[in-house]
Amino acid sequence: MKDLDWSNLSFGYMPTDYNVRCYYRNGKWGEIEVCSDEYIKLHMASTCLHYGQEAFEGLKAYRGKDGKVRVFRMDENAARLQSTCRGILMPEVPTELFEEMVKKVVRLNQEFIPTYESGATLYVRPLLIGTSAQVGVHPSTEYLFTIFVTPVGPYFKGGFSTNPYVIIRDYDRSAPLGTGIYKVGGNYAASLKANALAHEKGYACEFYLDAKEKKYMDECGAANFFGIKNNTYVTPKSTSILPSITNKSLMQLAEDLGMKVERRQIPEDELETFEEAGACGTAAVISPISYIDDLDTGKRYDFGAEPGKISKKLYDTLRAIQYGDEEDKHGWVSIVID
């Protein structure tokens, strides 16, 4: 294993030894190639560069106490990528190909998988891009699907803790019938200004309201939202948010804990009634929210400076499954290195 200060790694890019690539040409996917070059030779007229024919995914590999390396629900990442492909007219990457490439790239870079104790993980980043030259707005005929990995530090360096969030009304990340439900780069470009503004004002992240009515909670930065009250897990139903795999898993775990789960529109006002609130995604699992400010109305919705009990329980349970410390009742985990 590499001699790195795993616990102090940031969520940044660090080169590893290999990436894997697969090309789509003449209507079919080719063989998986192993590559040690970090660069891609690309035609300057590629559709990914001009027309945003680009999609990505994000998942992690976890080294367990038992030394085994697990990945979490990669079939769900494959399915979400396929949905994105249908959304922006790219050929779907078959689940078997996706899974084989994830396993291969993790195994090839096993020296970069952080230790169990560090709380750090190996982040896996699949990327699909349109590579044929076009000047008219048309889908590409050729594609590159590549996966690289990079070790990332633990999200909570000082332990599970809360952060303040802010509702920003001056920007929309995506439209109700737009690409918010797909994991395409354009959505993230659209979020950069609001995210910078939130950071400038001292918040962890920006919240978006639904773009049409500016009334309902959508999501925050690169995470879904949930609130907890009366033993119920409530999370937004919206056509402009990314279907989070962490959120889907938390809904199941909440149900397993005997809680009610509601997926529905959440009017901003309802925030007042939540006992706990959190942002959820692969990066943090759960990032508990201390308060949410609405800058335009001057309202503050307070959830407390300490993480709530249920959030903590859900966080601990999901992490324990990911690291192999708890029984994987739902079959979410694949052992990649035994």
Contact positions vs ligand PLP (CB under 6 A):
58, 219, 222-224, 242, 244-247, 281-282
Bridge partner residues of 61 (DSSP)? 71, 122
Distance separating alpha carbons of residues 21 and 38, to the nearest angstrom? 11
* Smallest distance from ligand PLP to CB 247, Å: 6
Burial class (CB in 10 A: 0-12, 13-18, 19+), 41: exposed
* Smallest distance from ligand PLP to CB 310, Å: 18
Longest dimension (CA), the chain: 57
* Smallest distance from ligand PLP to CB 280, Å: 6
Task: Tell me whether strands 333-337 and 54-56 are parallel, antiparallel or unpaired.
Answer: unpaired
Distance separating alpha carbons of residues 317 and 320, to the nearest angstrom? 5
Q: Token pair for residue 154?
A: 């633990």
Bridge partner residues of 204 (DSSP)? none
* Smallest distance from ligand PLP to CB 255, Å: 17
24 vs 148, which CB is nearer to ligand PLP?
148
* Smallest distance from ligand PLP to CB 334, Å: 16
* Smallest distance from ligand PLP to CB 27, Å: 30
72 vs 291, which CB is nearer to ligand PLP?
72
* Smallest distance from ligand PLP to CB 222, Å: 3
92 vs 219, which CB is nearer to ligand PLP?
219
* Smallest distance from ligand PLP to CB 45, Å: 28
84 vs 247, which CB is nearer to ligand PLP?
247
Q: Which positions ≥6 away from 331 have C-beta within 8 Å?
A: none
82 vs 140, which CB is nearer to ligand PLP?
82
90 vs 124, which CB is nearer to ligand PLP?
124
47 vs 174, which CB is nearer to ligand PLP?
174
Please answer whether residues 182 and 87 qualify as being in contact, where contact means their C-beta atoms are separated by less than 8 angstroms: yes
Q: How does DSSP classify residue 133?
A: B
> Which of 286, 19, 7 minimizes the C-alpha distance to 151?
7
Distance separating alpha carbons of residues 129 and 115, to the nearest angstrom? 32
82 vs 247, which CB is nearer to ligand PLP?
247
Distance separating alpha carbons of residues 1 and 256, to the nearest angstrom? 37
Please answer whether residues 140 and 131 qualify as being in contact, where contact means their C-beta atoms are separated by less than 8 angstroms: yes
> Which of 309, 317, 316, 308 minimizes the C-alpha distance to 289?
308
